[in-house]
Each structure stands twice: as structure tokens, then as C-alpha cells.
Amino acid sequence: MTRRVLGVAAVVLAVLIFPRVAGTYPVKLLQEILIWGMFAMSLDFLMGYAGMVSFGHSAFFGVGGYVAALALVAWGPGVAAGLLLPAAAAALAALVIGFFSIRVSGVYFIMLTLAFSQMFYAVTFQVGWLGAEDGIVGVPRPRLAGVDLNGLTAFHVYVAAFALATVLVLWRIVRSPFGHVLRGIHDNEARMQAVGYAVDRYKLLAFVIAGTVAGVAGALYAQFVGSITPEAFLWRTSGEALLMVIIGGTGTLGGGLLGAAAFILLQSLVSSYTERWMLLLGLTFIVFVLFAPGGIVGALRGRIGLRA
Amino acid sequence: MTALLEVDRLTRYFGALGAVNGVTLAVERRERRAIIGPNGAGKTTLFNLITGHLAPSGGRVVFDGHPITGLPPHRVARHGLARSFQRTNLFSRLTVLENLRLAAAADGRGSYRLFGSVDRLTAPLARAREVADAVGLSERLDETVARLSYGEQRQLEVGVALATRPQLLLLDEPTAGMSPEETRRMTRLLAALGRDVTMLIIEHDMDVVFSLADRITVLHYGEVLVEGPPDAVRADARVYEVYLGTGDGA
């Protein structure tokens, strides 16, 4: 336990001092990893713990991003516009989409969530005041307690704080009575019903929690890039998060961050040599699914287990 | 005082086949009632109709004065009616203690708590230990289901139902597939349960039936053929003919 706390503290410290020792590009890469890691962790919470494999998680990432972009452009750089409103909007979207989607499971759940996210894509792609295919550009970063987040280090600390908060909040939820109910639903939904759980309500709450975290990640992403496009809603956004979770390790939370790191590093390193980085990514994915179904975290645990 | 469970002309058709055909029965508080009948007599279908796993084509179910006909399974369970399944139906990735604790916490109190460790929810934990004791698994609390023997899994199957503190326990062939030794153990466990839990039990093993039941209902082709105390049922010629006489399970 103390070793784990020390380990987490060491990682947090390393992330925080990273801007002191590294150049602008690596720092931005790390910020991107943290934001995508949050998004992937929210999906892992949904699929790894509640057993709901969604292929439409981009809907909430996109809603968070778009609402943040619209609000920050319209009302200036406030925290309410940059974070609270996007989080609330994503939660609401998850409530509505979840209400319909949790009625079905398995492939039908995947298809329904996918359809909802693609609807958002289709709408943002066409509606003029949402910028249509160009999206919304010139998104300012919020000011937080008088601190200008345009500076590299300030924004870095801001993103790192949210990533850490996501880890801590989801980690606690997973170990809470509610998290325990989700494990039961994942394991045997019918028996959960038979002993008296209103399973749909728990699933909906899990869906809303995951959607809200994804919305915050989307809002941070819009602030990071300074713009948001309909691509955020595209199935590829959901698919990439899914890949990150599987590469990192499903049902581990931390795997989302590691998977995001592997994915984004691979993308940035390989794409500077060849256009075919997707090919390498595909091969990586196949290797993981076949030989390390527990992902990076599972492989690491196996190592530690062998050593012990 | 009315009966705890009243089933009134309950009917379920599968196509033209009346799997359960106008079954009426009443189970009194504290009673131990066995339901027997040849395979395909509609015993499990009757359970599924009572617990909301199947919607009836007709008839009604009243439990403890509340109409529960057609309610979904989790609402039926909340009324204090728990069931075990013929085919073991557990949380296979969880431990014995976790299985029982989940069931004990199914009243929903505290289950929506997002923060704070699950270990601090003390009432379900205490109930889980109590039930583990009652079903003979107190030495196996931290084993996952996969590591239990078949007999132990069947004991846990009953335990999960019992952990919800039901007024009525519906047991669907608790000794199915068990060795004679395991069957005797299960029978002892069931006999030792307090009378405050009313019991409705489907069972093929006649030794189990006759050592547990106060009354027996015999189903045949979805209808009640005979109902009465064990001795009367044993002596009934019709029962002998359709059930015991076939050699099925006797």
C-alpha cells in the first residue's frame, strides 16, 4: 500500500517537473497523453468495471469539447464556461443516450452508442453556427484564480491536476459500494436482478459518470488544441479510446493512461518516419490481443507476480 | 391471517402448450412446501412466473398481501421473495464473501454510495458472515467461486438467495447433480434453517422431500394433481401412477 502511494507520488512528481527538463514538444505530447488518458480511463470504467462496451464514447468527448469551445468563445475565459458547463452538458447527453442504450446489451449496445455519436457528428458537420466542417477555432483557455493558462507550465499543471483527479475519483468509485455493485452486474447481471438490484439504474449512473469524465477530457482537449472539429465525434475517436484501453489493460484504470501513452508515442514517433504508422499500430494491437490480453498492466503484473 | 404466498389460477402458455395451467396454491407462513412432479410438469416455469422471470398468460400472484403478478424480478425480490436456481448462477469472478455481501446489500441502502470503501458497509458484511455460517462455507470466505467444489457452489447458490433476508425462499432443485453425501449435507443445512424463512422447494430426491416438507404439491402437465401432507401424498394412487410409478427420480 505505501509502496503504491510512493509510486504514484513519484509519477506525479515526474509529470509535474517534466516542463522544467524537457522542451515544448515533449511537454505538449505529455499533455495530449494525459487528456486522452482521462478519456480512455472513463471508457475503461464503463467497459472494464460495469461491463458495458461502448463504441460511442466520442459523443461525450465531443459534447464537452464543443460546449467548452462555444462557451469560452462567447463568454470569455471563465472556469464555468471552460469546465463546469461542458461537464454538465456531457452528463446530460450521457443521461439521454444512456437512457435508451442500456435497454440493450452486447452488440446492440455497441451499435446504439455508435449511432448516437455519429448523429452528433452529422449534426456538427452541417450546422452553420457550430462551424460546420471547420468546427470552432480560436478557443481561449480559461483563467483559473487569476492564473493565465496560456503558459506552457501553467497549462501543464492544470491538465496534470485533472488527470490525477480522474485517477483518484474513479479509483475510489471502483472500490465503493456502488463500484462493487457494478462488478456484480458485469459478472452476472441476471442474478443481480434476482437478488433485488434495479440494475438499469446502476448502469445508467455508471454511464453518466463515464460520460461526464469524457466530457471534461473533451473540454480540456478543446483548450489544449485551441479548436474543436466534428472529428471529435467521429467513430475513430471512440475506436482510438477503445484501442488505448485494450492495449493498456481493461479493468485496470491505470491502463487507460498507459494505453494512451503507448498509442500517442507510437503515433508521433513512427509517423515522423513513415506514413504507415497505422499499420504498426494494427500489428501492436494484434500482438496485445493475442499474447497479452491483460494489456500493459496485465503484462507488468505478470512480471511482478513471477518475481515475487 | 392470510397465506404468505397465494397463487391463483396462474397460467402460462408456450404457443398452444399450457406449461402451467391454472395452478392455484397457498403457502402459509413458516411452512415448508415441496413441489414435485415428472420432468416437464411445469415446476420451474411456475417459479419463473412467481419471481417475474416470465410473464404469466393469466392468473395472479399475491405475496404478503401485495399483488406481485408481472413485476420485474428485482421488484419481486424486494418484497422479500428470494430464489435459488437449478443451474448454479453465481458471481463467478468474486469470492464467497463478496457473493454473499452483494446479495445482502441488495436492499439498495448504501449501494449508491460512490465514495468510501465497500468494507465500511458493515451490515451486509455481518449478514454475509452469518449466512456463510448457515450454508457451511465460513471456512471458504475468501475463495473465488471457481475454486469451490460443485457441492460448495450449490451451498453458495442457496446462500446468495438467503443473504437477502427473504420471507420466502424458493429453491429450485438445491441438490441437483449432487453426490449422496453432498445431498445429505444440503438436506441438513436446509433443515437447520430457521422457521422464520418460509420455504418452497422443487426437488426430485424423494428422501430430501420427505425429510423436509410439511406439505407436498404434485404437479402434472402444468396442473395440480394432488396436494397434502407427505404421508397422504405417498399413499395416493394417482401420484404413484404418474410419478413414482414411472421410476423417474423415485
Is a pLDDT exceeding 90 seen at residue A270?
no
C-alpha distance from A207 to closest chain B C-alpha (Å):
14
Distance CA A276, CA A265 (A): 15
Residue A264 lies in a domain: no
State pLDDT tens for residues A50-85: 999 999 999 999 999 999 999 999 998 888 888 999
Note whether B195 contacts A: Cβ–Cβ < 8 A.
no
**Cβ A176–B116 below 8 Å, yes or no?**
yes
The average pLDDT across A211-239 equals 96
**Cβ A191–B90 below 8 Å, yes or no?**
yes
Q: Which of B91, B119, B164, B171 to mutate to test the interface with A (most CBs of A within 10 A)?
A: B91
State pLDDT tens for residues A116-133: 999 999 999 998 888 888
Residue A131, C-beta contacts closer than 8 angstroms, at least 6 positions apart: A124, A137, A229
From the list B77, B112, B118, the residue facing A195 with the nearest CB is: B77
From the list A177, A180, A196, the residue facing B74 with the nearest CB is: A196
Angle (deg, nearest 10), helices A58-75 and A107-126: 30
Residue pointed to by grid coordinates 466542417: A133
Largest CA distance in chain A: 60
Residue A15 lies in a domain: no
State pLDDT tens for residues A188-198: 999 999 999 99
Contacts of A202 in chain B (CB under 8 A): 111-112
From the list A177, A183, A197, the residue facing B74 with the nearest CB is: A197
pLDDT for the residue numbered B245: 56
Residue A117 lies in a domain: yes
Note whether A195 contacts B: Cβ–Cβ < 8 A.
yes
**Cβ B77–A188 below 8 Å, yes or no?**
no
Specify the DSSP class assigned to residue A249.
Answer: -
Is a pLDDT exceeding 50 seen at residue A49?
yes
Residue A5 lies in a domain: no
Identity of the residue numbered B82? A
Q: Which of B48, B53, B71, B74 to mutate to test the interface with A (most CBs of A within 10 A)?
A: B74
Residue A224 lies in a domain: yes
**Cβ A194–B113 below 8 Å, yes or no?**
no
Quickly state the pLDDT bin for A221 (edges 50, 70, 90).
very high
Distance CA B160, CA A212 (A): 34
- C-alpha A70 chain-centroid distance: 21
User: CA of B165: which chain A residue's CA is closest?
Assistant: A195
**Cβ A194–B94 below 8 Å, yes or no?**
no
* A46 contacts A57 by C-beta, under 8 angstroms: yes
pTM for the full predicted model: 0.91
In angstroms, the Cα distances linking A251 to A40, A183, A297, B116, B207 are 11, 10, 10, 20, 47
In angstroms, the Cα distances linking B94 to A148, A154, B62, B130 are 48, 44, 34, 18
**How many other CB atoms are found less than 10 A from the CB of residue B117?**
13
How many beta-carbon pairs under 8 angstroms link A with B?
100
- DSSP strand pairing (B168-172 vs B81-84): parallel
Residue A70 lies in a domain: yes
pLDDT for the residue numbered A147: 80
Distance CA A270, CA A268 (A): 6
Q: Provide Rg for chain A, Cα atoms.
A: 19
Angle (deg, nearest 10), helices A277-291 and A235-248: 50
Residue B224, C-beta contacts closer than 8 angstroms, at least 6 positions apart: B23, B24, B25, B217, B218
Quickly state the pLDDT bin for A268 (edges 50, 70, 90).
confident
DSSP H helical ranges for chain A: 2-21, 24-44, 58-75, 79, 85-101, 107-126, 152-175, 177-195, 199-225, 235-248, 254-270, 277-291, 295-307
Element (H, E) at B124: helix B122-134
Residue A53 lies in a domain: yes
State pLDDT tens for residues A156-200: 999 999 999 999 999 999 999 999 999 999 999 999 999 999 999
User: Can you give the residue range of the structural domain that contains A133?
Assistant: 27-234
Task: Find residues 78-137 of chain B whose CB sits inside 8 Å of chain A.
Answer: 78, 82-83, 85, 89-94, 98, 101-103, 105-108, 110-118, 121
User: CA of A205: which chain B residue's CA is closest?
Assistant: B112
pLDDT for the residue numbered A21: 86
pLDDT for the residue numbered A87: 97
Average pLDDT, chain A: 91
Is a pLDDT exceeding 80 seen at residue A308?
no
The average pLDDT across A17-43 equals 93
Is a pLDDT exceeding 50 seen at residue A306?
no
Contacts of B73 in chain A (CB under 8 A): 193-194
C-alpha distance from B91 to closest chain A C-alpha (Å):
6
Quickly state the pLDDT bin for A305 (edges 50, 70, 90).
low
What percentage of chain A has pLDDT greater than the value 90?
A: 65
pLDDT for the residue numbered A307: 42
Is a pLDDT exceeding 90 seen at residue A2?
no
From the list B72, B112, B164, the residue facing A178 with the nearest CB is: B112
Please list the residues that pair with B5 across neighbouring strands.
Answer: B27, B63
Distance CA B209, CA A279 (A): 65
Count of domains observed in chain A = 1
Residue pointed to by grid coordinates 463500484: A179
C-alpha distance from A239 to closest chain B C-alpha (Å):
27
Q: Which of B102, B109, B117, B167 to mutate to test the interface with A (most CBs of A within 10 A)?
A: B102
Element (H, E) at B85: none
Note whether A168 contacts B: Cβ–Cβ < 8 A.
no
From the list B93, B118, B164, the residue facing A196 with the nearest CB is: B164
Residue A92 lies in a domain: yes
C-alpha cell at A32: 495530449
Q: Give me the tens of pLDDT residue by residue for chain B, a chain 250 residues long.
A: 589 999 999 999 998 888 999 999 999 999 999 999 988 889 999 999 999 999 999 999 999 999 999 899 999 999 999 999 998 899 999 999 999 999 999 987 778 888 888 887 888 999 999 999 999 999 999 999 999 999 999 999 999 999 999 999 999 999 999 999 999 999 999 999 989 999 999 998 888 999 999 999 999 999 999 999 999 998 888 888 876 555 444 3
Quickly state the pLDDT bin for A97 (edges 50, 70, 90).
very high
User: CA of A174: which chain B residue's CA is closest?
Assistant: B114
Contacts of B103 in chain A (CB under 8 A): 195
